[in-house]
Amino acid sequence: MMRPPGNGDRVPRRSEAGFSLIEVMSALVILAIAMTAVFATFISQQKSFTTQSRVAEMQQNLRQAVEYMSRDIRMAGYGIPDNVTIPNGVIAAGVTSIRSLYAKDSTTGPDQIYILYLFDMDDNQRSTWNTAPMASGAGSVTVDNTDGFLPTTGELVIVTDGINEQLFQTVSKTATALNFGGGTYQGFANNTYGIGPPPSTVAKARFVRYYIDNTTDPAHPTLMADRMGGAAAQPVADDIEDMQLTYGLDTNADGIIDSWVPPGAVTPPQIRQVRLQFIARARLPEAGWSETRPALGNRAAGTTPDGYRRRTYDIVIDVRNSGV
């Protein structure tokens, strides 16, 4: 196969063994053009991807905030026959009872809301009933079983016979007894609960406060749920910039909403609907984007534009257990 190299072969092969400077330069120019195009495309794709994933994240945060809060607002007052006594100052100075919900208005910041209902929808956290009379001032209640209650301290429990009801905080449990003591919600056992029939219901209470925490991390205001039992508040949705609440009132008890007012000025028994409004914003401001926080509810719009993209949500929720 091999044959000795001859002159006729050698010369052309040597001249083709490399590139001339011109060839290399023109190849580099062409490569530069192509790479510029690729890089420009990459940059714009990258920017667009970042923006879009933040927008999607923001929309998801908003949906999550609405989903969580609207469920609790719908349930507000469920299983609570009358006002429940709470220590003064827990929800607001001078307010010592709550039946379904209580909102705190602010015209310069987000509103907040307290919601109370009886929590027995879940088989794992089911309610029970007392099997022995509970005396006034008693420190514990004897019940059918305590499977649905946490063994740890700090669980909020409602005892109700359908007329009276009281909020307690547990310290421990046995198989058939819940022991109360300590905590904020102790010392209000001024009713007697007999064993019926029917016996009194003993159930977990959902007493929750929704608020926007914009002090822990001012760059990321977070919708928080505080379960009020002494445990730390939990984040519900990130980057929720504003929350505004408006009450729909039925002032003449005919089942028809007569007026919409901001919280605070009215007595809670007239509340039939709650209008819930949110502003969510993107996680980070975006270069080249300018937007001012819009007015919401009774809070005025922001004054300085920033680079956050925003979405708003505005929905009316009927309070099913408003105590008609």
Partner 1 sequence: MAGNKLRCQRGFSLIEVLIALVILAVGLLGLALFQTTAIKGNAIAAKWTVATELAQDRLERFRHVDWVSIQPSVPGGFVPGIQPLQSAYGSLGGAVGDNTIVRGTQYYRVWQVTSNVSNSLKTITVWCCWRDDAAQWHNIMLVTQRSDIGGI
277 residue type, one letter: Q
Indicate the residue among 192 and 312 with the shorter CB distance to partner 1: 312
For partner 1, the closer of residues 5 and 218 by Cβ is 5
Side chain identity, residue 267: T
Q: In the 8-state DSSP scheme, what is residue 130?
A: B
> Which residue type does 253 have?
A
Rounded CA gap, 213 and 195, in Å? 44
Piece in contact with partner 1 (CB under 8 A), picked from 46-54, 198-206, 262-270, 297-305:
46-54
Q: Which residues contact 24 (CB under 8 A, 6 or more apart)?
A: none
Query: Of the listed pieces 33-41, 132-140, 161-169, 190-198, which binds partner 1 according to CB under 8 A?
Result: 33-41
Q: Which is nearer to partner 1, 190 or 259 (CB)?
A: 259
Report the residue from 24, 28, 33, 300 that binds partner 1 according to the rule CB under 8 A: 33
Q: Is 190 left (phi over 0), alpha (psi -120 to 50) or beta?
A: alpha
- CB neighbours of 224 closer than 8 A, spacing ≥ 6? 210, 211, 212, 213, 233, 234, 235, 236
Residue choice 24, 25, 28, 30 for contact with partner 1 (CB under 8 A): 30
> Looking at beta carbons only, is 24 or 300 nearer to partner 1?
24
Query: What is the torsion angle, in degrees rounded to the nearest 10, for the CA atoms of residue 28, residue 31, residue 33 and residue 35?
Result: -130
| 45 CB neighbour count, 10 Å cutoff | 10
- Pattern of binders to partner 1 over 191-230, x per CB under 8 A? ----------------------------------------
Minimum distance of partner 1 from residue 280's CB (angstroms): 11
255 touches partner 1 (CB under 8 A): yes
The whole-angstrom separation of Cα 59 and Cα 51 is 12
* Residue number, 147 or 318, with CB nearest to partner 1: 318
| # chain residues binding partner 1, by CB under 8 A | 40
Residue 322's Cβ-side half-sphere holds a number of Cα atoms within 13 Å equal to 23
**Is residue 32 a contact point for partner 1 (CB under 8 A)?**
no
Among 1, 4, 7, 16, binds partner 1 (CB under 8 A): 16
**55 in Cβ contact with 68 (< 8 Å):** no
Cα 169 to Cα 172: distance, rounded to the nearest angstrom: 9
The token pair at 25 is 């330069």
Please tell me whether residue 273 binds partner 1 under the rule CB under 8 A: yes
Task: Tell whether residue 289 is a contact of partner 1 (CB under 8 A).
Answer: no
SS3 125: helix
Residues facing 204 on adjacent strands: 119, 157
Instruction: Give yes or no for residue 324 binding partner 1 (CB under 8 A).
Output: yes
Indicate whether 297 belongs to the interface with partner 1 (CB under 8 A).
Answer: no
| Closer to partner 1 by Cβ: residue 86 or 279 | 279
- Looking at the Cβ atoms of 59 and 214, the one nearer to partner 1 is 59
Are 310 and 280 within 8 A, CB to CB? yes
Closest separation between CB of residue 47 and partner 1, Å? 9
Q: Of the candidates 43, 231, 256, 295, which one interacts with partner 1 according to CB under 8 A?
A: 256
For position 292 contacting partner 1 by CB under 8 A, the verdict is no
Contact 118/79 with Cβ under 8 angstroms?
A: yes
Q: Which residues bind partner 1 (CB under 8 A)?
A: 8-9, 12-13, 16, 23, 30, 33-34, 37-38, 41, 44-45, 48-49, 52, 55-56, 59, 62-63, 66, 248, 250, 254-257, 272-273, 311, 313-318, 320, 324
